[in-house]
Amino acid sequence: MRAEEDKSHLKVIQVDETQLKKDLSELVRGSVEETLNALLDEEADKLCQASKYERNPDRVDTRAGSYNRNFETKAGKVKLKVPKLRTIPFESAIIERYKRREPRKN
């Protein structure tokens, strides 16, 4: 009887490794998506010489919305919101034009 009580005590903390890995990979994927979108916004701000909605006499261009784009990373598929500008063509230094996947390193 004592051995059964000891074994039942061990089952108090149980970790579902599959769910844990899934949750962690989703957390990483979301983090990558958030970071890439922030970098794209920062790049657009530098091109415009002003941040989003900022009134600035030095502003070179204004934003004209964004378009969605899927990008495959090692962390999984992320959805990017690529900024559009009114007069300056926005070409990101982070993600090459027409590139859909992160390059693989062997």
| 6 within domain boundaries | no
**Residue numbers of the domain that contains 69:** 21-106
| 57 within domain boundaries | yes
CA atoms within 13 A on the CB side of 53: 0
pLDDT per position as a tens digit, 1-42: 555 555 655 556 777 888 888 889 999 999 999 999 999 999
| 67 within domain boundaries | yes
| 51 within domain boundaries | yes
CA atoms within 13 A on the CB side of 70: 3
| 53 within domain boundaries | yes
| 5 within domain boundaries | no
pLDDT number for residue 96? 76
pLDDT per position as a tens digit, 68-105: 999 999 999 999 999 999 999 998 888 877 666 677 66
